[in-house]
Amino acid sequence: MVTTPSQRVICLMESSVDGRIDESRWSVLYSEKGEGDPDVYYETQKKIRADVFVLGVNTVKRHYCSDEFHSETHTKVENPEPFLGIRSHSKMTAVFDSKGSVAYKDNNLGNTTLMVILGEDTCSQEYLDYLREREISYTFAGKDGNDIRKALNSLYSDFGLRKVLLSGGGKINGSFLKQGLIDELYLVIYPGVDGLTGVGSIFEYEGKPDDKPGKGQSLELISCEVVRAGVVRLRYKFHFYSC
């Protein structure tokens, strides 16, 4: 994939000190007991000024829309072409959902315009029709929805988007990491702990036990700030090397 300097993938995540990302489980702040999150995550998100936020479907089901899409039939998609629905916001949110599983009401998602990234062989024509009726844009990430490079190319060339903010959760982040597609990582570290084994972390690539999704990549620390209330913001640049 040939990219221009303005086409970038920046990953932004907030974690506890043990790298866990379910904020509802974290211990309370020491300095402002019980007062909640000092909102460094959203401040950082604004600062990055991305064109499109990228989310995995589990995150969307948890925070935005949990209605499941149902259809009596499942017709194979014959011509998987991107669809550009009405765009009413300057920013978009692209949801990786290979099968097409969420029954969105309209094309608005958290004050951005929604688009869905599907698998050509894993979603149904019925789902594409459902999205088109609601002016919800879509494009494809290859046959099974895992060709992220292809999806990014479509975001850049079909939708004119440039700066991509990869916003989790861990599984979609893990796939981007494995495919060597992250240019920068902003990590907001909340001064609390989760502590339980098995809770999701920043990168959760679903591979074999000997897989090393970060292989061939190294992280250069660009900045490290204590923002407030003990919250630390780290910024890293990814470098790639052959091994």
Ligand X SMILES: NC(=O)c1ccc[n+]([C@@H]2O[C@H](COP(=O)([O-])OP(=O)(O)OC[C@H]3O[C@@H](n4cnc5c(N)ncnc54)[C@H](OP(=O)(O)O)[C@@H]3O)[C@@H](O)[C@H]2O)c1
CA angle (24 as vertex; 110, 197 as ends), nearest 5: 125
Residues in contact with ligand X, counted by CB under 6 A, come to a total of 27
Contact of 22 with 200, CB cutoff 8 Å: yes
Instruction: Using CB under 6 A, pick the residue from 56, 85, 191, 213 that binds ligand X.
Output: 56
Q: Does 38 bind ligand X (CB under 6 A)?
A: no
Residue list 61-80, contact with ligand X (CB under 6 A): 62
238 and 183 Cβ atoms separated by less than 8 Å: yes
Q: Is 146 in the site for ligand X (CB under 6 A)?
A: yes
Binding status of residue 194 toward ligand X by CB under 6 A = no
Mark 166-201 as b/e (b = at least 16 C-beta within 10 Å): bbbbbbbbbbbbbeebbbbbbbbbbbbebeeeeebb
Choose the stretch contacting ligand X; rule: CB under 6 A; options: 53-61, 68-76, 157-165, 232-240: 53-61
Q: Which amino acid is at 54?
A: V
According to CB under 6 A, which one of 127, 204, 233, 236 is a site residue for ligand X? 204
| Tokens 């029954």 found at | 103
Does the footprint of ligand X cover residue 53 (CB under 6 A)? no
User: Under the criterion CB under 6 A, does residue 99 sit at the interface with ligand X?
Assistant: yes
Backbone angles phi and psi of 231, in degrees to 5: -85, 130
Closer to ligand X by CB, 5 or 198: give it: 198
What residue has token string 């850049």?
A: 156
Instruction: Give residues in contact with ligand X (CB under 6 A).
Output: 13-14, 21-23, 56-59, 62, 96-99, 101, 145-146, 148, 167-172, 175, 200, 204
